[in-house]
Each structure stands twice: as C-alpha cells, then as structure tokens.
Amino acid sequence: MKPHDPECMDIFARLSEYLDGELSPEECAHFEKHIEGCAPCVEFVNSLKKSIQAAHGFHSPAAPEHVAPEAESRLKEAWAAALARRRES
C-alpha cells in the first residue's frame, strides 16, 4: 500500500459496513479481492476483528436508576458538542 492509497482508504472507511454485512455481494467481492492482496489491509481487518470480539465480551454495569438533573444536562451538552464536532469533520 502506498501512503494514502485511495483504494485502501476506501477499505478503511467502509470496513465496519463490510464486517457488519451491510455491503452488496459485489462490494464484498471487491473488498475481499483487495484485502487478500494488501498486507496493510489484512493487518487492519484482523485488528478490527479482534476489537469487535473484545467489545462483545465487555459487559458494562447497569445504568444508574436516577441521574441528577445537572449531570443529565451536562451529559446532553457534551453529547451535542461531540455530534457537532463529528459533523464538522
């Protein structure tokens, strides 16, 4: 892979869709053909698969039954700010 190879960048950007089975059979075939011949993409796919497996094994504690209004307000503001930053990038 060359630095910033457009095909690899597309693979990286859409890999979650591929792993979640959200791509068409044609798109999947294209991804698989590229991935099998690209060592950096193979490494990236394997890394993401390990991350997904680790996340499936994570169990968070139960959410608190009550959140103070001030804390809820701050959390909502932080969430809105994070979404706004995401839209800007």
Per-residue pLDDT of the chain in tens (89 residues, 90 and over written 9): 455 688 888 888 888 888 888 999 999 998 889 888 888 888 888 888 898 888 888 877 777 788 889 999 999 999 999 988 888 86
**pLDDT at site 1:** 44
Q: Cα 86 to chain center, whole Å?
A: 13
**pLDDT at site 45:** 84
Q: Residue 85 falls within a domain, yes or no?
A: no
Q: Residue 67 falls within a domain, yes or no?
A: no
Range of the domain at 34: 1-57
CA distance to 26, 45, 51, 78, per residue, from 7 (Å): 15, 14, 23, 35
Count of domains forming the chain: 1
Q: Residue 34 falls within a domain, yes or no?
A: yes
Q: Residue 11 falls within a domain, yes or no?
A: yes
